[in-house]
Amino acid sequence: MTKDLEVRHCRVLLAVKDAGGVGAAARTLGVAQSTVSETLLSLERVLGAPVTTRRAGHGATLTAAAEALIPHARVLVAASETALAAIAHQSQGAIRLGTVESISSFLLPAPLGAFRSRWPQVSVRVAIGLCEDLRARVRRGELDAALTIEGGEGGDASSLPRAALQFIVAPGHQLACRVVSRADLAGLTFLLADHDGAFNALLKSWLAAAGQPPSLESAGSIDGVKRGVMNSNVIGVLPDYAVADEVAARSLVALDLHEPAPRISLRLTTLETPLAGTPLDGLIRLLATTATPSMR
């Protein structure tokens, strides 16, 4: 079994060096002298060589092997303190998270609830916007992270959930009770939440096979899309998780498409990869594990 040099070994060794003895080191560290002695014995087992030697009238002094270890011990302790300080900095205050409306409304509530119980000292400030704008705000340092939508399987965080676009109509729509091909959709009007949102280019590409460019309109919000569909003959386009309740209740109907609807995935943007164990890392992991079933 590999024997590793531990930070506790280094702290005790440096205390003995700087304080001038085992007893003084114990007082500096605020521990019992026996604790210092036991740690030094453990260090000797790792090194395979004595760490201290006794001379009459001088008490315990460091051996040549221990003296050679001193500069390396200082580096290890400094690295440990830097890492702990970084985690402490990220373990308090606020996370500035940018995302789109559908993620904020339908995917974040459960992870945020679990996050607040685990990290009560950290607040999450959610900003809503368009995908490209949110990613640009991360690059400018205005947001700590952005969770946005990417077409196809292009998301850069494989542990995050994926979904599909859902084409929804009112129950009385002429396409509601039949299998629908892309050709059937030619020339029809589609209602999206945002005119400049992530779905527009994806939808145009998918409908190109219909032979006639689609007519795309925007409702300004997810709720606006749902209400627009209920009160007109348009086809709404939303992520499947954003309309699951209405489809289950039959207040809206998901078209039975002959070809699978375009897939979407989530994209995480950060300036740096979050350190393991920090609140931001914890929030991302909670999102992956508590996502709605339709996102798997």
Whether 180 and 249 map to the same domain: the answer is yes
Residue 254: pLDDT over 60: yes
Whether 183 and 258 map to the same domain: the answer is yes
Residue 70: pLDDT over 80: yes
Q: What is the mean pLDDT of residues 100-125?
A: 90
Q: How far is CA 266 from CA 145, 156, 207, 278, in A?
A: 13, 8, 22, 21
Reading the block at residue 163, the tokens are 């979904």
Residue 161: pLDDT over 90: no
Whether 196 and 255 map to the same domain: the answer is yes
Residue 154: pLDDT over 70: no
Whether 135 and 52 map to the same domain: the answer is no
In the chain, the number of structural domains is: 3
Last residue within a domain, chosen from 32, 56, 90: 90
Highest mean pLDDT out of 66-75, 203-212, 213-222, 282-291: 66-75
Whether 51 and 178 map to the same domain: the answer is no
E-only strand ranges, the chain: 52-55, 59-62, 93-99, 122-128, 145-151, 162-169, 179-180, 189-192, 215-218, 235-239, 253-254, 256-257, 263-270
Contacts of 158 (CB under 8 A, 6+ apart): none
Structure confidence at residue 146 as a pLDDT band (50, 70, 90): very high
The dihedral sign for the CA sequence 256, 169, 206, 264: negative
Q: Quick check: is 1 in a domain? A: no
* 166 vs 30, residue with greater confidence: 166
Q: What is the pLDDT of residue 296?
A: 42
Q: What is the pLDDT of residue 268?
A: 87
Residue 140: pLDDT over 70: yes
Last residue within a domain, chosen from 38, 60, 90: 90
Domain span including residue 196:
163-262
CB 210 within 8 A of CB 183: yes
Calpha distance 107→127 (Å, rounded): 14
Whether 12 and 44 map to the same domain: the answer is yes
Whether 116 and 155 map to the same domain: the answer is yes
SS3 96: strand
Residue 88: pLDDT over 80: no
Predicted confidence (pLDDT) per residue in 15-58, tens digit: 999 888 888 888 888 888 999 999 999 999 998 999 988 765 55
DSSP codes, 131-159? HHHHHHHHHTTS-SEEEEEEETT--S-TT
C-alpha closest to that of 254 among 171, 191, 186, 161 = 171
Q: What is the pLDDT of residue 271?
A: 85
Whether 19 and 86 map to the same domain: the answer is yes
Whether 246 and 270 map to the same domain: the answer is no
Residues 18-24: contacts with CB under 8 Å, at least 24 apart: 21/59, 21/60, 22/52, 22/59, 22/60, 23/59
Calpha distance 250→171 (Å, rounded): 7
